[in-house]
Copies of this chain bind each other. A is one copy, B any other.
Amino acid sequence: MIATTPPPAREGSFKARMHQQREEALVHAASRLLGEKGFDAMTVDDVAYAVGIAKASLYKHFPGKDELCAAAMAHIARRMDAFVRSLDDGRPAIERLWALVRRSLELQLDDAMPLLPSRNSSLREPLAACEDYQSALAAVNQRVLGWIAEAQASGHLAAGWPAEVVLCAIHARSADPMLELLQSTGRYAREEIVERVLVTCFDGLKAR
């Protein structure tokens, strides 16, 4: 709830539920558009139009574009955190890591916004200030770092590498340009692309 100042209406009342629903719709639309067009190209009008309200109404929910997009990114981070938790059943850590990367790749093929903003995105500053986003991201990282240590201990991942480096490699896959390049050839099906990139990530290009 990054709502502005107004009287928030009784918990669970009709108006409050409508309010919250609209806010969720805004966040959802924003996260989709962020993935499709990027922060700079996406306009506040786009988001308002997608939800079917006027731009001025959007500003009753969020103080500005930055905060709207930060909320959208926090939503994305929470979803990823939930997914990562859902993977934490009994299976071997290396399998969880594959599943995580596969998910990231599939999201990317669906034009979803990646968990991390790109290097010179204007999103970085507002994101640094968004605690919701930061805490969800930290939760994901902590859990995945645990998996990496496990996978190294059980001999499935290169031992001796700092777990942090492996984490970076895995996160980077969620914005790997290789997907787009393969897609633009028009010669590969969706799943084929995902598998190629997965294998490239974990096995490398080298012959063995």
A residues with CB within 8 A of B:
36-38, 40-41, 116, 118-122, 152, 155-159, 161, 164-166, 168-172, 174-178, 180-182, 185, 187-188, 196, 200-208
Contacts and interface: CB of A to CB of B under 8 A. Distances in A.
Of the candidates A38, A169, A174, the one having the most CB atoms from chain B within 10 angstroms of its own CB is: A169
Q: A-B pairs with the 7 shortest C-beta distances? A: A204-B204, A172-B178, A168-B181, A40-B40, A203-B204, A172-B177, A119-B180
This chain: how many copies in the complex? 2
A161 B159 CA distance: 27
Given A157-B206, A200-B204, 7 more contacts: A36-B120, A38-B40, A171-B181, A172-B178, A174-B177, A176-B177, A204-B204
A120 B164 CA distance: 29
Contacts of A188: 165
A158 B207 CA distance: 4
> Which of A180, A187, A188, A207 lies at the interface centre, i.e. has the most chain B CB atoms within 10 A of its CB?
A207
The DSSP consensus for interface residues of chain A is helix
Given A120-B37, A204-B200, A165 B182 contact: yes
Contacts of A172: 176-178, 181
Contacts of A207: 152, 155-159
A122 B168 contact: no
A202 B203 CA distance: 8
Contacts of A165: 182, 188, 196
A182 B168 contact: yes
Contacts of A116: 177, 181
